[in-house]
Structure 1
Amino acid sequence: MSIAGRFHDGLTAQVHAVGLDHEAGTLVIRSGDGAELARWPTAELFAVPSRKHELRLGANGQPSGARVVVSGREDVGRVLATLPVLTEKRRQQTGREIRLAVTATVALAAVIVAYLYGVPLLAGRIAGLVPPAWEQSLGETVARQMEASLSESGGLAVCDPDPDSLANRAITRFANAAIEGSGSPFQLDVRVVKSDIPNAFALPGGQVFFFSALLDQAETPDEFAGVLAHEVGHVAYRHGMEQLISTAGTGALIGFILGDMTGISVAAGLGATIIDARFSRDAERQADAFAAQVAERMDFNPAGLADLINRVGADDDFARALALLSTHPLTEDRKAALEVLSQQRPTGLEPPFTTAEWTAIQAMCGAPGKIKRK
């Protein structure tokens, strides 16, 4: 007895009510009047995903849209009993799907492990392989994204756009002296910008931002010089590039392999988070040691950095969330190390800023200079 079904020939939109018979290894498809419409070898049959209690069949060598549809639990059972090859193929397909799911799960777990552990561990080595020109391009991309994220608060307007002003010349001289001898391939670009966030940070490629709210908190040239030298240390050690690679995870590795380090695969979306991202403890210690080495050549106390972090951290919740204390956490061992480093510096050196320069720096964002010396 034929099994009732529907037949789509794959060539027209017409649906035929048919009867299905199994004859000598062939599925015979006949119309209601008994006319033969098609013969499909059972060895070429395959099941197509379908609804519950429905069986949809296709066959190799037929038009891609050709289908036989059988509905109802009883009729589906009869077809599967008549054509055991379908049951075996379904079992094999289920096995393939399970293996694929397991493989995908293992691959996803491997990617997660690489993202959480492998990439951060390799980030430092990868950063050293990135060409300086690529890193500068990345830094510019991140700066643009960061400025866009702060657009509601006025972006990153430079306090004093005149590079020949007394304040800017003093800052540039200090930054160049700080990075001298480090072997860094980057030309520093230090910008004091207007912002209510008391913070400072270094981007890949040599850009350093010092926010006006943090400058307002600095009471001595030592505090300002300590923070600035610390950020220059991040540039010298390429910590910004290392952080970007660690944050971007496997996407950074793919971008590096494909030669796409222009800001698309690595820096995309990081502008909004770079402000409140923190470097590793090792990176902070390296930058502290760098600041202390600068202090050995220039007469300032690197421990002023700790004083400024403590003062900023005593402010309101907003300041603590986005300020220097959050991005440069001051642990007890780090504070003690800064105190030891400050004791090792020589005395009688030329201070990093004259009184006139420090007054000009304090006033560059519009606030009157607060003349305080060590």
Structure 2
Amino acid sequence: MAIPARFWDGQVATAHHAGLDYEAVGSAGTLVIRQPHSRTEIGRWPADSLFMVPTRRHELRLGSTGQPDGARVVIAGRDNIARVLATLPQLHQKHRAEAGRQMRLAVTATLALAAVISAYVYGVPVLASRLVHLVPPAWEASLGDTVAQQMETSLGGLDICDPDPQSLANRALRRFGDAAIAGTGTPFDLDIQVVRSEVPNAFALPGGKVYFFSNLLHLARTPDEFAGVLAHEIGHVVNRHGMEQLISTAGTGALIGFILGDMTGISLAAGLGTMVIDTRFSRLSELQADAFAAEVAQRMDFHPAGLADLVGRAGADDDFARALALLSTHPLTDDRKAALELMAAERPTGLEPPFTDAEWRAIKGMCDLPAAGKRKGG
């Protein structure tokens, strides 16, 4: 007695009522699909070509290799399904083999993904720190100029607070920068600019450009706080973190990290996946820049923990920030301040302050000058 079924031939969307017969010829067999009343044959599928297709409960759906993609035979009812499976036991064997193959593929893909993530988390940052020394400084400086131009375009121009390079404030910034990089062997000349912006931020570009936003300057209460942040950004330049980050993130397929030193957590960010992969490297860069600021404080009379005080005031850590500490590209303020306090514990006495009182007043007042229109920095 034929087993009732529905049959799609893969050519049209209409289903046909059908009856299924099984013809055995030696060790081979064939599923014969017939019209239920006339018994006219409308399909013949070799048994060894059959496979099970996922479907709903209490239904068996079969396909056949060599048939159109949409060709299907659907059997409903427990008794009918049991008769088919009893006649074609190889279906279960194929199904188990396919499930095992899919499981092996899933395990292999998971291990491959874990290997890739491990390579990026542990290998790419190490590789980037090595490769950065092979990049010609002139090329890196040119890259920094390009990024600055792109940034200026995206912001509609940069409003430099004090464009006079011979003003007391700019001469003080230049002197501080020269003293900070003295003896480091850096191939770059610093270009420090204070820019009008409502965003409390400071950052360094590859090649020596450092930008300090006016809002962050206004939040600075002491020369120590300002000097700490500025030395931190100069540390990014000296350690060539911009170029390292570019090399590292290029390995993940995203050219992020041109701009380092996003002191308040506001960044030119990319997706969460890339951020997680690159977190370890970014946090290491921030700690290295903090250490550089502490080293500069060993040569000038300022307390490097002022850096953490200003960062904390500009973007205080909250419970949400602490919960995402592992995803943060910057160490939490309390952690950084504690580390900076330790690094400053043996700071010598009798050092020259980073700025005179007159210089500090001039720096604090740089952006109190009337705005003269947006100018290109550099």
TM-score normalised per structure 2: 0.69
Counterpart amino acid of 1:56? R
| C-alpha spacing 1:164/1:285, structure 2 compared with 1 (3 Å) | closer
**Do the aligned residues in 2 keep the contact of 1:239 with 1:279 (CA within 8 Å)?**
no
1:187-266 to 2 correspondence within 5 Å? 187-195=189-197, 200-216=202-218, 218=220, 224-242=226-244, 252-255=250-253, 261=255
User: Equivalent residue of 1:46, what SS?
Assistant: strand
Counterpart amino acid of 1:335? E
Q: Distance in 2 between matches of 1:53 and 1:115?
A: 47
Counterpart amino acid of 2:9? D
Residue 366 of structure 2: aligned partner = 364
Residue 99 of structure 1: aligned partner = 104
Counterpart amino acid of 1:65? G
User: Equivalent residue of 1:304, what SS?
Assistant: coil
Tell whether 2:18 aligns with 1:18.
yes
Residue 160 of structure 1: aligned partner = 161
| C-alpha spacing 1:217/1:20, structure 2 compared with 1 (3 Å) | closer
Segment drifting more, 50-59 vs 284-293: 284-293
Tell whether 2:79 aligns with 1:64.
no
The partner residue of 1:28 within 14, 18, 32 is 32
Tell whether 2:288 aligns with 1:283.
yes
Counterpart amino acid of 2:170? N
Q: Distance in 2 between matches of 1:188 and 1:215?
A: 19
Unaligned runs of 5+ in 2: 259-265, 322-329, 371-378
Counterpart amino acid of 1:18? A
Q: CA deviation at 1:343?
A: 4.0
| C-alpha spacing 1:26/1:3, structure 2 compared with 1 (3 Å) | same
Instruction: Report the RMSD for the aligned CA atoms in angstroms.
Output: 4.5
**Do the aligned residues in 2 keep the contact of 1:46 with 1:58 (CA within 8 Å)?**
yes
Q: CA deviation at 1:238?
A: 2.1
**Do the aligned residues in 1 keep the contact of 2:194 with 2:211 (CA within 8 Å)?**
yes
The partner residue of 2:268 within 267, 271, 277 is 271
| C-alpha spacing 1:328/1:182, structure 2 compared with 1 (3 Å) | farther
Deviation track 1:254-308 (CA, whole Å, cap 9, x = no partner) reads 43xxxx74879xxxx951599x975557514541355247x3xxxx32x333346
1:295-334 to 2 correspondence within 5 Å? 295=299, 300-301=300-301, 303-307=302-306, 309-310=308-309, 313=312, 318-319=315-316, 326=332, 329-332=335-338, 334=340
Q: CA deviation at 1:216?
A: 3.4
Residue 47 of structure 1: aligned partner = 52
1:95-134 to 2 correspondence within 5 Å? 95-114=100-119, 117=122, 119=124, 124-125=129-130, 127-128=132-133, 133=139
Q: Distance in 2 between matches of 1:184 and 1:38?
A: 79
Counterpart amino acid of 1:231? E
Deviation track 1:293-339 (CA, whole Å, cap 9, x = no partner) reads 7x3xxxx32x33334644775x5x954669x9955954445324335
User: Equivalent residue of 2:67, what SS?
Assistant: coil
User: Equivalent residue of 1:34, what SS?
Assistant: coil
Counterpart amino acid of 1:41? P
The partner residue of 2:343 within 332, 337, 347 is 337
Q: CA deviation at 1:90?
A: 0.6
Q: CA deviation at 1:35?
A: 0.9
Residue 371 of structure 1: aligned partner = none
Q: Distance in 2 between matches of 1:156 and 1:61?
A: 64
Q: Distance in 1 between matches of 2:170 and 2:242?
A: 23
Q: CA deviation at 1:21?
A: 0.9
Aligned residues between the structures: 338
Residue 86 of structure 1: aligned partner = 91
| C-alpha spacing 1:289/1:195, structure 2 compared with 1 (3 Å) | same
Deviation track 1:37-68 (CA, whole Å, cap 9, x = no partner) reads 12111112222222222222222222222222
**Do the aligned residues in 1 keep the contact of 2:161 with 2:369 (CA within 8 Å)?**
no
**Do the aligned residues in 2 keep the contact of 1:58 with 1:67 (CA within 8 Å)?**
yes
Q: CA deviation at 1:237?
A: 0.5
Residue 372 of structure 1: aligned partner = none
Unaligned runs of 5+ in 1: 369-374
Q: Distance in 2 between matches of 1:279 and 1:156?
A: 32
Q: Distance in 2 between matches of 1:271 and 1:223?
A: 24
| C-alpha spacing 1:172/1:74, structure 2 compared with 1 (3 Å) | farther
Counterpart amino acid of 1:216? H
| C-alpha spacing 1:344/1:282, structure 2 compared with 1 (3 Å) | farther
Q: Percent identity?
A: 50
Q: Distance in 1 between matches of 2:307 and 2:92?
A: 74
Q: CA deviation at 1:13?
A: 3.0
Q: Distance in 2 between matches of 1:12 and 1:312?
A: 67
Q: CA deviation at 1:232?
A: 0.9
Q: Distance in 1 between matches of 2:98 and 2:87?
A: 19
| C-alpha spacing 1:71/1:308, structure 2 compared with 1 (3 Å) | closer
Q: Distance in 1 between matches of 2:53 and 2:133?
A: 52
Segment drifting more, 135-144 vs 212-221: 135-144
Q: Distance in 2 between matches of 1:144 and 1:164?
A: 23
Q: Distance in 1 between matches of 2:115 and 2:75?
A: 42
**Do the aligned residues in 1 keep the contact of 2:144 with 2:208 (CA within 8 Å)?**
no
User: Equivalent residue of 2:42, what SS?
Assistant: strand
